[in-house]
Amino acid sequence: MPALSAVRSNDNLSPLAAPRFACGWYETLPKPTAPRVAEGDLSFDMAVVGAGFTGLACTRRLAELYPDARIALIEAERLGAANSGRNSGFLLDISFYEDTTPAIQAAKTRLQEAGLCELDRVVREQGIACDWQPWGNLYGALGGEDEVLLDRMGERYRDAGKPLERWSAERMAEVTGSPRMRRGIFHPGTVLVQPVKLTRGLAATLPANVTLFEDSPVTAIVPGDGGYRLRTARSRIAVERIFLCANGGTPTLGPGKHRLLPVATFAAMTPPLASDGPLADTGPFGLLPVLPGGATLRLTQDRRLIVRQGAAFAPNGHPSDADLHRFLDEAGRTLALHWPALAQTAFEYAWGGVMSLTRNNAQLFGEQAPGLFVAAFCNGAGNTAGTAAGKLLAELAAGEESDLLADQMSLPSPTRLPPDFVNGFVVRHRIAQAKRRLERLYTAVDHPSPIQDGRRQA
Ligand SMILES: Cc1cc2nc3c(=O)[nH]c(=O)nc-3n(C[C@H](O)[C@H](O)[C@H](O)COP(=O)(O)OP(=O)(O)OC[C@H]3O[C@@H](n4cnc5c(N)ncnc54)[C@H](O)[C@@H]3O)c2cc1C
């Protein structure tokens, strides 16, 4: 069996077209109009830095709580171009981490459920078109270690008192079109979306007292005059209070230094599949992995397959092209493994994003200095967890109290990391371990490689 990286690059029978290294969710939508860039000396009552899910939820709640305040939402890139638009589009109502206590897990679940409820409310009230698809958490096992982990995952749902269906191989094949999985489990609740449509829709429907600036990275935060001054390349913005929701961009502005582990993960998207070809009878779905390093798979409403897979240490905050190339080989292998008839299908787009992980699965949350509020590092379930954290950050600033805010405050804070070279070594080692486990699993699953498939057809 060839190594994970060898399968696609050795494919000299029908060389596959190279994908564009760009986010497919973003590129397949109409181009946005020219951005409003922050320029000159500006003054606002409050500024939210970062327009991902966390910043968008924080801004909306601030605008509701302070309808007379002038609020700036300042984003470094175009809306939806950063992680909140680059992700797999699962609005997870629950997700499990192995090294979390039951109390913390329960608090995280309540927060994710609340984040999903909030997104549901806004999408419905504002009529946001974002391919909203009520779905669930569907996990499938290919065999071997995957089945052991699937059982363990099932136990966690049972222990948490969450409803769970057990799916046979036939049911998995019927729903995903993949004949490879031995069985699966399904928990209803999670919603699938087109994440760029959702982030754009959330921004477009913010209350009128919000001004959005894009392409305006904040380069410094300076205390002064009873508030703060934010600097961008072309502006100085005076504000009374700041809400820092910049995720991986947070430590360069102060809070969270030496606490962030930037780990890139990658995604690739096919062109729309032919309506009379493989998967013709399969509806849109989302499939989550149980094996660390395994693939997240989606068939979108416009019938594109998306493979999210792989990890790479990204100390400078960006995935490298070399990592993206390695990922493409792995993604091609995954595609061929699940859907042999699609082994020769080229991806149209491939991209990476950087997850803001911490050593202890923790988040930064709270008032870090007078008038400087932070919500960051919501990790793998940030679409819902970040939405909850952003909303609660606004409520914390307004002096509100609630059980949910108590849940958020009960989560651990990120612990300090060892020096960079140690982090790099540990993270790369863990990623290599996860890759070996996946390789063992794929090798154990009896399947023809895409190359053999091609030879057979030739
Ligand atoms: C490939 C991939 C798949 C994923 N799949 C999922 C999934 O299915 N479900 C899920 O819940 N999570 C998923 N995630 C994780 C998810 O993307 C994050 O948890 C989520 O985006 C966190 O939202 P956020 O608003 O906290 O941070 P971000 O989305 O990172 O937003 C922070 C924003 O701050 C901006 N910013 C940073 N620095 C500055 C600055 N100096 N000035 C101004 N603005 C700044 C950034 O440009 C960015 O827009 C995935 C991630 C990746 C990479």
Is 225 inside any structural domain? Answer: yes
**Atom of ligand 1 at shortest range from CA of 95:** 11
Cα–Cα distance measured from residue 90 to residue 195, given in angstroms and rounded to the nearest whole number: 9
| Site to substitute for ligand 1 among 244, 247, 313, 392, most atoms within 8 A of C-beta | 247
- In ligand 1, the atom with minimum distance to the C-alpha of 56 is 25
Nearest-angstrom CA–CA distance, 407 and 347: 42
Whole-number Å distance between alpha carbons of 313 and 331? 18
Contact between residue 292 and residue 276 where contact means Cβ atoms under 8 Å apart: no
Distance from residue 84's CA to the centre of ligand 1 (Å): 4
Q: In 3-state terms, what secondary structure has residue 381?
A: helix
Strands (E), 288-441: 296-299, 305-313, 349-357, 364-369, 372-376
358, 377 contact by CB (below 8 A) = yes
By three-state DSSP, how is residue 402 classified?
Answer: coil
CB of 75 sitting under 6 A from ligand 1:
yes
List, edge to edge, every strand of the sheet that includes 305-313. 20-21, 349-357, 261-269, 305-313, 296-299, 285-287
Can you give the residue range of the structural domain that contains 75? 33-105+123-131+193-257+363-417
Q: What is the CA(2)–ligand 1 centre distance, in A?
A: 34
What's the pLDDT at 15? Answer: 41
Q: How far apart are CA 333 and CA 268, in angstroms?
A: 12
CATH number at residue 62: 3.50.50.60
pLDDT at 98: 64
Evaluate whether residue 13 is within a structural domain. no
Cα atoms found within 13 Å of the Cα of residue 232, Cβ hemisphere only: 25
Is residue 213 one of the residues assigned to a domain?
yes
User: Which atom of ligand 1 is nearest to 378's Cα?
Assistant: 19
**What does the DSSP 8-state code read for residue 342?**
G
- Tell me, yes or no, if the pTM score tops 0.85: yes
Residue that is written with structure tokens 């934010």 in the block: 230
Q: Ligand 1 atom 53: the closest Cα is on which residue?
A: 353
Give me the pLDDT at residue 96, please: 84
What does each of the 458 residues of the chain score in pLDDT, given as a tens digit? 333 333 333 333 334 578 999 999 999 999 999 999 999 999 999 999 999 999 999 999 999 999 999 999 999 999 999 999 999 999 999 998 667 899 999 999 999 999 999 999 999 999 999 999 999 999 999 998 999 999 999 999 999 999 999 999 999 999 999 999 999 999 999 999 999 999 999 999 999 999 999 999 999 999 988 899 999 999 999 999 999 999 999 999 999 999 999 999 999 999 999 989 889 999 999 999 999 889 999 999 999 999 999 999 998 888 888 999 999 999 999 999 999 999 999 999 999 999 998 988 899 999 999 999 999 998 779 999 999 999 999 999 999 999 999 999 999 999 999 888 888 899 999 999 999 999 888 888 855 443 344 333 32
Q: Can you give the pLDDT at residue 252?
A: 94
**How far does residue 285's CA lie from ligand 1's centre (Å)?**
22
In a domain, 381, yes or no: yes
Structural domain count of the chain: 1
| b/e code 394-420 from CB counts within 10 Å (16+ = b) | bbbbeeeeeebbebbeebeebeebeee
Question: What is the three-class DSSP state of 106?
Answer: helix
What is the separation of C-alpha 169 from the centre of its chain, rounded to a whole number of angstroms?
28
Residue with CA nearest ligand 1 atom 9:
90
Q: Cα 268 from chain centroid?
A: 14
Residue 384 alpha carbon, nearest atom of ligand 1: 11
